[in-house]
Chain A
């Protein structure tokens, strides 16, 4: 029924995201070997040679510190960078287009079916978010699965905890793109706008005073990495934002004339 339709509409984007994430995850794992070889050189460096007073130097120092262990390496390279980018981009892609985007040629056929608009958008959101959840967890499970091949191990509990953070914040960009799709006729503008907003937030988070409260710190699960405690307040806030955006999209859709 509707969920099948939503799956058919989004499966291309979802499978592309999944495939790309798995490839990147594979790359990250085998990149650790190269990093391992570099670590002794870094450890023997003269500490005074590195100026860590600025934000860039501080970030390099933080990165070097984190990547001393495999868990730290995975957090720094995978959760803090690659998977964050992938979840933001594919979250926006999965949310964009929407069931009733102006671009969908068969909109009138859909609207002639005996289902409410809230059910239409609800089903579409449910399927899209389920795909996002898979994107937030499965590639990390793949990383955990590949870890023994390089003599390392990675905890499935960590995968699930980081996956939750990725999914909740990713759903904000999903919902933002869904909301923007009410206004734009194509898929690409909502995705582009959502990504530009994400990039702007990301840059703002380089300011230490702002960064501590930034959504990307919630997304990459830094608190969980450092203290094994989930950032519940951040998760609740981001979850609330995602729900509010989706609700606004649904209300706009219910009011719209076709």
Chain B
């Protein structure tokens, strides 16, 4: 039996004024996961989020959240009733105070969590009677997070939640998300181009570029699949065309040849040994390397 998905997109396409923002995006976000949605600026992350929340409509393909079609206006209301959202700009009503916007938002959610509201108000130190327009980006981010977390949602959709924040504020936001997820049964889908943040909290990822999914899966599985083989030769490294499946990229620099595989490294190293390197090493790959290699391959 397949794992139930909180979010699923199938061949999702979106064209804006002649520009193809999404070109057949396929995603599956398992329920209960913390899903990092990675991509360069303009890769299609925000567009995907807008399609999932009914803020824009797909040109083709399907987007489903909780099994409901995000394209259907009625279903979209039900999706949003079960979803907390923080947008990239953390834009809130500038004519409301912190207290007013909390009261305003709470009225839309019967399952509003007063206990969490109190807790986060205290821990974030939010000024209740201050207009949101006077808040710094860091404080506004925390308020946006409070408004998303207290909805009693099953799904949190966070578009660049740490964008524009200093390291301390970013860390606080990330820790809040992790702590919240550890105590509540929910799925987190967050976009970012901060690889370290994704690496820190995500258990599943997808890397997209130019509107297509390049890599997707459980982060631990991906780390197991991706391996870097480093070979050192006595003389100039030979130009090797590896036959082992899964070789993503090969680089030569002087006597050193490195090859990245997304299919483990054992078979690759076995093949590499036939070319007589002085040394051969199988190295783990970081998320940053996976991202950069995936995006570079696309280029």
Contact = CB atoms under 8 A, between A and B. Distances in A.
Contacts of B108: 1, 113-115
Interface string A170-197: 0000000000000000000000000000
Contact of A9 (B53, B81, B91, B95): B95
Contacts of A105: 89, 91, 94
Contacts of A117: 73
B54 A111 contact: yes
A112 interface: yes
B99 interface: no
B53 A111 contact: yes
Contacts of B89: 105, 108
A108 B78 contact: no
Given A5-B104, A257-B16, A106 B53 contact: no
A8 B53 contact: no
Nearest to A110: B93
Given A4-B104, A109-B87, A257-B56, A116 B93 contact: no
Contacts of B96: 8
Interface residues of B, number: 30
Contacts of B144: 109
Interface in B104-129: 104-105, 107-109
Contacts of B147: 109
Contact of A109 (B57, B77, B92): B92
B50 A257 contact: yes
Given A109-B87, A112-B80, A112-B85, A257 B73 contact: no
A239 B80 CA distance: 35
Interface string B171-184: 00000000000000
Contacts of B267: none
Contacts of A1: 104, 107-108
Interface string B46-80: 00001001111100000000000000011001101
Contact of B55 (A106, A108, A255): A108
B93 A258 contact: no
B83 interface: yes
A5 B55 contact: no
A192 B192 CA distance: 41
A254 interface: yes
Contacts of B105: 113
Residue picked from A107, A116, A255, most chain B C-beta under 10 Å: A116
Contacts of B54: 111
Given A117-B73, A254-B73, A111 B92 contact: no
A196 to B, nearest CB: 28
Contact of B93 (A106, A111, A114, A254): A106
Nearest to B56: A257
Interface string A235-258: 000000000000000000011011
A110 B150 CA distance: 16
Contact of B81 (A106, A114, A254, A255): A114
A109 B91 contact: yes
A45 B73 CA distance: 70
Contacts of B16: 257
Nearest to B87: A108
Given A1-B104, A5-B104, A257-B55, A112 B91 contact: no
B107 to A, nearest CB: 5
Contact of A116 (B77, B83, B92, B107): B77
Interface in A108-161: 108-109, 111-117
B127 to A, nearest CB: 19
B270 to A, nearest CB: 51
A112 to B, nearest CB: 4
B50 A106 contact: no
B95 A8 contact: yes
A251 to B, nearest CB: 12
A106 B55 CA distance: 13
A100 to B, nearest CB: 10
Nearest to A107: B91
Contact of A114 (B57, B77, B87, B95): B77
Contacts of A116: 73-74, 77
A106 B92 contact: yes
Given A1-B104, A1-B108, A117-B73, A112 B53 contact: yes
A5 B101 CA distance: 10
A112 B83 contact: yes
Given A8-B95, A257-B16, A113 B80 contact: yes
A109 B93 contact: yes
11 contacts: A4-B104, A105-B89, A105-B94, A106-B92, A109-B91, A109-B147, A111-B55, A112-B85, A112-B87, A115-B77, A258-B56
Given A105-B94, A257-B50, 4 more contacts: A1-B104, A1-B108, A108-B50, A109-B91
Interface of A: 1, 4-5, 8-9, 105-109, 111-117, 254-255, 257-258
Nearest first, the 5 A-B pairs at minimum CB distance are A114-B81, A257-B56, A112-B85, A105-B91, A108-B87
